[in-house]
Amino acid sequence: MTRAGLTAERLTVAAAELADEIGYENVTVSAVARRFGVKDASLYSHIRNAQDLRVRVALLALSELADRVAAALAGRAGKDALVAFANAYRAYAKEHPGRYAAMQIDLDPQTAAASAGPRHAEMTRAILRGYQLSEPDQTDAVRMMHSTFHGYVSLERSGGFRHTPREVDASWARSLDALDSVLRNWPPQ
């Protein structure tokens, strides 16, 4: 018999909130069960195991970020779209550090294909079409953009920029200016 009110969706949201509070790596079935005031066994009617719960958090985060980025991109093109995408990405990572960490896990190919990941890729490619990039340059540029955003966010979150007086937001803006310049002046093969 399942406990009234417990669903896979509620457990996923609770795990995501917990990830933001205590870190994704610290989310356990026991921690989520404590949040609901139930025994661990009560959760297994809704999730398979801790890995299933962690994947669900990753999928939730990918979907939330895709929705946020899509809203930010609406009606924008070129550099405006690039900056809107980047700012939405960075804001999500800052607001939801545990969920952001969850998005970095390696999903199996079938789960990844059914996730919001392909939506992220398509939105990125839509921005790049505004820069007149086609394959294989688009793939290279997608990887460069993700590396830039993830690298900056990761260094910022770990305190990697605390050692210089330059304002972090100013460096972020200049990084986006530089990325826009690279995309507009993509080197020929």
Q: Return the pLDDT at 44.
A: 86
Question: Which is nearest to 86 in space by CA: 24, 151, 20, 21?
Answer: 151
Which domains are delineated in the chain?
8-184 (1.10.357.10)
Calpha distance 24→110 (Å, rounded): 23
For 125-174, the pLDDT digits (tens) are 999 999 999 899 999 999 999 999 999 999 999 999 999 999 999 999 99
Give the amino acid at 97: P
Instruction: Say if CB 61 and CB 100 are below 8 A apart.
Output: yes
Q: What per-residue string of b and e applies to 104-122 under the rule 16 or more CB within 10 Å gives b?
A: eeebeeeeeeebbbebbee
Calpha distance 126→130 (Å, rounded): 7
pTM for this prediction: 0.92
- pLDDT greater than 50 at residue 1: no
Calpha distance 68→140 (Å, rounded): 24
Q: Which residues contact 160 (CB under 8 A, 6 or more apart)?
A: 154
Provide the sign of the torsion angle of the four alpha carbons 119, 122, 127, 128, taken in this order.
positive
Calpha distance 151→160 (Å, rounded): 11
Provide the sign of the torsion angle of the four alpha carbons 67, 110, 59, 150, taken in this order.
negative
Q: Which residues contact 50 (CB under 8 A, 6 or more apart)?
A: 27, 28, 29
Please state which of the ranges 38-42, 82-86, 171-175 shows the lowest mean pLDDT. 38-42
Give the amino acid at 49: N
- The tokens describing 83, both together, are 């900056």
Give the residue-averaged pLDDT of 4-10. Answer: 86
